[in-house]
Amino acid sequence: SIWFVFFFLKKKKKIHLLTTIKPLIQRGHEYLVHHILLYQCTNHLNDSTLNDGHECYHPNMPDSFQLCETIIFAWAIGGQGFIYPPHVGLSIGTPNDPTYVMMEIHYDNPTHKQGLIDSSGLRLFYTSELKKYDAGVIETGVWVSLYHMIPPRMFEFMSVGHCTSECLEEALDYERPSGIHIFAVLLHAHLAGQALRTLHFRNGVLQKPLAGDETFDFNFQEFQYLKEERVLLPGDSLITQCLYNTNDRRNMTWGGLSTRNEMCLSYLMYYPRINLSRCESLPEIAGQLKFIGVKEIYKPVTTWPFIIKSPKKYRNLSFTEAMDTYRWSEQKGRDFNELVLELPINVRCTKYGQEEWSVSKSLYCHVSTVEIDELVC
């Protein structure tokens, strides 16, 4: 389950900077708290919702949840506290900074144990001592959605998320033509994750990998501080690769928030802060459905997941049910993987709040699963 609560950040007479963020996990709940996200909210939040907790993605959750979309910090299970470099801090308390934040806690309670009460959270340390740069966070990788799917019985299946050159060209040209400096990366997946990497390209040429974890452990996820800060320039691109193992599963694994769903994300800590919060992609759905023989869906779409009209064997099934009905084998899974990596992608290039940069649209990109040196987008 997922729980969130809103907080008010009191205005200061002068600028203050966050220097350290530490997780406060209730003793005995280390197994329960999976990850914590801290979001910046717009200043249109209703004060009546402050300090009240709500279950996320529940029919009764307040509309104000939709006003908090910019991630400013991420912690995952096994991680320790995060300390910003001496020349960088996260600005709070000024008119240009968020007045409200939302803390979102993801819990993992597979045995459905009843009566649990949790008081975990984050402790924020701040100072009035000025730093040279204000920090930001960009979420990159695969857009979290049911359109991200992994077949069962696979020893290896690769998902790839693109932060495209078009997105970085537009955002950085407008905000920071000289580029931004990345100083830490958090790679994030769930239980099926085996290896994760974030690759950096300039003019289509692979640079030194930005971050990697070839022996990914779901129970130990922490920011990797870069030995040398990496400059990201307009027109550069990033690819997040995630390798999964679903050999012990008998149904599809879907992109989603549960630990038994999957994610493929990189959180980039950088400076100076620009108006870019997400740079992600998602393979289009039509080609994935065509692979299992879907010919037509009911339109207009009035339910989610949407319903298939033909062929007869899938009629009136949701697309998720149809995917589970398909008889997967390891060879079919490999063929599906090759297809997905060459499908057109939907791009998410998001500003703070809910606005998008103009390049948020379908693009086309070929990806090789074998020769990393040939990855060009």
pLDDT digits over 247-305, tens only? 999 999 999 877 789 999 999 999 999 999 999 999 999 999 999 999 999 999 888 99
Q: Which two tokens stand for residue 161?
A: 């998320």
Helix (H) or strand (E) holding 323: helix 319-325
Closest CA to 20 of 123, 120, 139: 123
What is the residue-averaged pLDDT of the chain? Answer: 86
Task: Point out which residues pair with 280 in neighbouring strands.
Answer: 141, 348
CA–CA dist 25, 108 (Å, integer): 14
What pTM was computed for the model?
A: 0.84
pLDDT of residue 113: 86
Closest CA to 176 of 142, 131, 138, 129: 138
- Are 83 and 22 contacting, i.e. CB atoms less than 8 angstroms apart? no
pLDDT of residue 189: 93
* Euclidean distance between the first and the last CA atom of the chain, given in angstroms as a whole number: 37
Structural domain spans, the chain: 1-134, 139-285+327-377, 286-326
Task: Select from 3.40.50.620, 2.60.120.230, 2.60.40.10, 3.40.50.720 the CATH code of 139-285+327-377.
Answer: 2.60.120.230
Other beta carbons within 10 Å of 78: 14
Task: Point out which residues pair with 282 in neighbouring strands.
Answer: 346
At residue 322, φ and ψ (nearest 5 deg) are -65, -45
pLDDT of residue 366: 45
CA–CA dist 262, 150 (Å, integer): 9
CA atoms within 13 A on the CB side of 335: 9
Class of domain 1-134: mainly beta
CA–CA dist 167, 35 (Å, integer): 28
Q: What is the largest CA-CA distance in the chain?
A: 68
- Are 236 and 180 contacting, i.e. CB atoms less than 8 angstroms apart? no
Closest CA to 207 of 240, 163, 237: 237
CA–CA dist 68, 263 (Å, integer): 20
For residue 237, what is the DSSP state?
Answer: E
CA–CA dist 268, 138 (Å, integer): 5
SS3 45: coil
The answer to whether 1-134 and 139-285+327-377 have equal CATH topology is yes
Report which residue type is found at 340: V
- Are 18 and 89 contacting, i.e. CB atoms less than 8 angstroms apart? yes
pLDDT of residue 364: 55
Burial 104-126 (b: 16+ CB within 10 A, else e): bbbbbeeeeeeeeeeebbbebeb
Q: Which residues, including other chains, have CB under 8 Å from residue 84's CB and lie 6 or more apart?
A: 18, 19, 20, 90, 131, 135
Other beta carbons within 10 Å of 204: 11
Give the alpha-carbon dihedral of 278, 199, 231, 171, to 10 degrees: -30
Radius of gyration of the chain (CA): 21
Q: Which two tokens stand for residue 39?
A: 């979001």
Which portions of the chain are predicted below pLDDT 50? Answer: 366-377
pLDDT of residue 58: 60
Peptide bond into 23 cis (omega under 30): no
Kindly report each contact of residues 213-216 with a partner whose C-beta sits within 8 Å and lies 24 or more positions away, as own/partner. Answer: 213/187, 216/187, 216/189
CA–CA dist 248, 194 (Å, integer): 14
User: pLDDT tens digit string along 216-236?
Assistant: 988 788 889 999 999 999 999
311 vs 295, 300, 360, 376, CA distance in Å?
A: 6, 18, 32, 36
